[in-house]
Amino acid sequence: MWRLTPGQALVCREWDGEAVLYNDLSGSTHLLDGAALDVLFALRDGPADAAQLAIRLAHGFDTDGGDLAAALGDMLSALAGLDLIESC
Amino acid sequence: MLTVGMLAPAELRSRLSGDGLVLRTGPFTNLIRSDVPHLIDTVALMYADYPVEPGGGFADFHLDYRRSRGLRRWFRSQVHFAYDGSTPFQPLPLAQAYPMLEWTMNWCVSHRAHGYLIIHAAVLEKHGRGIILPAPPGSGKSTLTAALLGHGWRLLSDEMTLVRPDDAMLVPVPRPVSLKNASIDVIRAFRPDAVLSRPVEETTKGTIAHVKAPRDSILRAGEPVRAACVVFPRYEAGADLALTPLPKARAFMELADNCFNYQVLGARGFAALGELIDTSDAYTFRYSSLPDAMALFDRLAQGAA
Tens-digit pLDDT profile for residues B206-217 = 999 999 999 999
- B274 lies within 8 A of chain A by CB: yes
CB contact under 8 A, A29 and B247: no
Interior/surface letters B82-95, b for 16+ CB within 10 angstroms, e for the rest: bbeeeeeeebbebb
Last residue of some domain: B82, B112, B142?
A: B112
Range of the domain at B100: 4-112
**Residues B107, B125 within the same domain:** no
Mutation for B interface: A10, A11, A15, most B CBs within 10 A:
A15
Residues forming a β-bridge with B199: none
d(CA A32, CA B199): 46
Q: Is A66 a residue whose pLDDT tops 70?
A: no
For residue A16, the chain B residues in CB contact (below 8 A) are: 247-249
Which amino acid would we find at residue A85? I
**Residues B107, B162 within the same domain:** no
**Residues B152, B286 within the same domain:** yes
Give the pLDDT score at B304.
78
Contact between residue B123 and residue B156 where contact means Cβ atoms under 8 Å apart:
yes
Tell me the mean pLDDT in the region A36-63: 87
Tell me the mean pLDDT in the region A25-45: 94
**Residues B295, B217 within the same domain:** yes
Q: Treating both helix axes as pointing N-terminal to C-terminal, what angle do A65-81 and A50-57 enclose, rounded to 10 degrees?
A: 110
**Residues B162, B293 within the same domain:** yes
Interior/surface letters B247-258, b for 16+ CB within 10 angstroms, e for the rest: ebbebbbebbeb
Give the pLDDT score at A63.
65
The closest of B238, B228, B109 to B174, measured between CA atoms, is B109
**Residues B121, B135 within the same domain:** yes
CB contact under 8 A, B253 and A22: no
Give the pLDDT score at A65.
58
Segments of chain B with pLDDT less than 70: 71, 73, 305
For residue B272, the chain A residues in CB contact (below 8 A) are: none
B253 closest CB neighbour out of A11, A24, A29: A29
Domain total in chain B: 2
The closest of B142, B143, B146 to B160, measured between CA atoms, is B142
Last residue of some domain: B70, B97, B112?
A: B112
Give the pLDDT score at A30.
98
CB contact under 8 A, A16 and B248: yes
Contact between residue B120 and residue B132 where contact means Cβ atoms under 8 Å apart:
no
Last residue of some domain: B76, B94, B112?
A: B112
Tell me the mean pLDDT in the region A51-68: 75
**Residues B38, B72 within the same domain:** yes
Residues forming a β-bridge with B233: B285
Give the pLDDT score at B68.
85
**Residues B141, B283 within the same domain:** yes
Q: pLDDT band for A64, please (50, 70, 90 cuts).
A: low
**Residues B150, B93 within the same domain:** no
**Residues B185, B286 within the same domain:** yes
- The one-character DSSP state at A84 is S
**Residues B87, B188 within the same domain:** no
CB contact under 8 A, B248 and A15: yes
CA distances, B214 to each of B221, B296, B298, B302 (Å): 11, 21, 18, 22
A13 closest CB neighbour out of B262, B267, B274: B274
Would you say domain A2-87 falls under CATH 3.90.930? yes
Give the pLDDT score at B69.
79
Show me where the domains of chain A are located.
2-87
The closest of B98, B104, B99 to B37, measured between CA atoms, is B98
d(CA A25, CA A22): 9
Q: Is A62 a residue whose pLDDT tops 70?
A: no
Q: Per residue in B72-93, pLDDT tens?
A: 767 778 999 999 889 999 999 9
Tell me the mean pLDDT in the region A56-70: 71
**Residues B97, B133 within the same domain:** no
